[in-house]
Amino acid sequence: MKPTRRNLLKASALTPMAAAAATNAGLTASSPSPLYASLGVKPVINGVGVVTVLGGSIMPPEVVRAMEEASRFFIPLPELEKKVGARLAELLKAPAAMVTCGAASAISVGTAACLSQGDAAKLRRLPGRDGIRYEVIQQKSHRSGYEHQMEMTGAKVVTVETRQELENAINDRTGMLFFLNKAEPDGQIKAEEFVGIGKARGVPTMNDCASDATPKERLWQYTQMGFDLVIFSGGKALRGPQASGLLLGRKDLIDAALPAMSPYGGIGRGMKVGKEELCGLLAAVERYLKVDHKAEWKELESRVATIRTALKGINGVATERHIPTIANELPHVTVEWDESKRPLTSQQVSEKLLAGDPPIHVQRPGPGKLLISVWMMRGDEPKIVASRLREILA
């Protein structure tokens, strides 16, 4: 925002959070931050992407404003949950929807809904298994470390590899079939076949699509494919509150998942979603569906070109434009070299990037290889990354 008298007066009429949102367009990792400085924490350049460990994404002004307005009033939280869920379902072409406190939370409350089958007594019994269809089947290649989110509800995870093994594993203890969307290329049973088996055997299917909100059509692709429950992160591609997630799907299962989460008692009492996150995520989804994604893509391509051009001509170093097959399907940069012919390993290059000011975080898929996401970079950060990489590698 240009610091004219008029703009300063307008900003001063806003509360601190709204004023910050209105003036943060030019912020980068190099911008002064009294808050983080007072805590001894240094902002970094995010070359990894929308990952929780770096804070997910940066919320746009529309989201911050919605959260701040929500914070000013008392409201009946269960009513707000249902009203926001109904609006999200309408926007995302889903039978029903709810906001959770992250994608992992959505796994837990969604699993609780499938295991309890809408029976309040069964829900109160979890993680006990008496009278519960507690087994959850997933493909071995879809194991990710998020099994704990199902197991905390009392579920027992059963792994299979082939369609025949899946068919044989389904029995009167089976409560849910779990699918990890980003692992589809690795498993023998693909998404549509997985859904078909669940439908034929009367077992609900859940698809964890946490990082798969690009392109935007993915937000309704999987519910329309027939998955009974579908999960997205709220604080990644959608750029909503970091501690938020989306659970979409069958109305009866969403109705069963709501009482499995705070402010109700039981298995999900610690999974609190505040009025601020509810309204913030709704604002984020509304914004995301209106954004000019073609213009955003063009900007990302420009950032990729900036880094690749800077590294061009360095002997033994190759770069490629890379778009993941699934999950975060946006332009990235790969940088590769033969470690046996150069004095630096990819580990050492990564350490040098982290030791700079500002620190730069990138992925290191293996020896002699870096993977750089330009998605969450701002301002001149792609140029800084390009310059630092050239300095190190040349």
CATH number at residue 328: 3.90.1150.180
Q: Are residues 143 and 264 in the same domain?
A: yes
C-beta separation of 127 from 134 below 8 A: no
Indicate the DSSP class of residue 268. Answer: B
Count of structural domains within the chain: 2
Q: Are residues 280 and 328 in the same domain?
A: no
What is the Cα–Cα distance from 102 to 273, expressed in whole angstroms? 9
Mean pLDDT of 97-126: 97
- 33-73 confidence digits (pLDDT tens): 999 999 999 999 999 999 999 999 999 999 999 999 999 99
Structure-token pair, residue 44: 């970094």
Last residue of a domain, one of 257, 290, 323: 290
String of b and e for 264-280 (b: at least 16 CB within 10 Å)?
A: eebbbeebebbbbbbbb
Q: What is the predicted pLDDT for the residue at 234?
A: 97
Last residue of a domain, one of 275, 290, 305: 290
Range of the domain at 224: 61-290
Last residue of a domain, one of 290, 305, 336: 290
What is the Cα–Cα distance from 233 to 242, expressed in whole angstroms? 8
Distance of CA 154 to the CA centre of its chain: 25
Flag whether 253 is in a domain: yes
Q: Are residues 350 and 234 in the same domain?
A: no
Please check the confidence at residue 376 and state whether its pLDDT lies above 80.
yes
**Residue 34: C-alpha distances to residues 25, 177, 208, 241, 367 (Å):** 17, 48, 38, 22, 38
Q: What is the predicted pLDDT for the residue at 240?
A: 98
pLDDT grade, residue 259 (50/70/90)? Answer: very high
Characterize the bridge pairing of strands 229-233 and 205-208.
Answer: parallel
C-beta separation of 304 from 381 below 8 A: no
Q: Are residues 268 and 368 in the same domain?
A: no
- 338-372 confidence digits (pLDDT tens): 999 988 999 999 999 999 999 999 999 999 999 99
Q: What is the predicted pLDDT for the residue at 327?
A: 85
Flag whether 226 is in a domain: yes
Q: Tell me, what CATH number does 157's domain have? A: 3.40.640.10
C-beta separation of 188 from 162 below 8 A: yes
Q: Are residues 250 and 355 in the same domain?
A: no
Please check the confidence at residue 126 and state whether its pLDDT lies above 80.
yes
pLDDT grade, residue 209 (50/70/90)? Answer: very high
Q: Are residues 302 and 368 in the same domain?
A: yes
Flag whether 44 is in a domain: no
Q: Are residues 240 and 318 in the same domain?
A: no
Flag whether 381 is in a domain: yes
Please check the confidence at residue 19 and state whether its pLDDT lies above 50.
no
The dihedral through the CA atoms of 178, 184, 187, 193 has a sign that is positive
pLDDT grade, residue 287 (50/70/90)? Answer: very high
Percent of the chain surpassing pLDDT 90: 90
Q: What is the predicted pLDDT for the residue at 326?
A: 86
Q: What is the predicted pLDDT for the residue at 2?
A: 45
Flag whether 382 is in a domain: yes
Q: Are residues 304 and 228 in the same domain?
A: no
* Segments in the chain forming alpha helices (H): 5-12, 16-22, 34-39, 61-71, 77-91, 103-116, 120-125, 147-151, 163-169, 191-201, 218-225, 251-257, 275-290, 293-311, 346-355, 381-393
Q: Are residues 305 and 241 in the same domain?
A: no
Name the 3-class secondary structure at 197. Answer: helix
Q: What is the predicted pLDDT for the residue at 265?
A: 80
What pTM does this model have?
0.91
Q: What is the predicted pLDDT for the residue at 343?
A: 87
Flag whether 37 is in a domain: no
Diameter over CA atoms, the chain: 72
Q: What is the predicted pLDDT for the residue at 282?
A: 98
Flag whether 70 is in a domain: yes
One-letter amino acid at 348 equals Q
Flag whether 31 is in a domain: no
Mean pLDDT of 157-169: 98
Q: Are residues 259 and 302 in the same domain?
A: no
String of b and e for 364-394 (b: at least 16 CB within 10 Å)?
A: beeebbbbbbbbbbbeebbebbbebbbeebe
- 63-91 confidence digits (pLDDT tens): 999 999 999 999 999 999 999 999 999 99
Characterize the bridge pairing of strands 135-139 and 174-180.
Answer: parallel
Q: Are residues 286 and 297 in the same domain?
A: no
Q: Are residues 223 and 176 in the same domain?
A: yes
Q: What is the predicted pLDDT for the residue at 25?
A: 62
How high does pLDDT run on average in the chain? 93
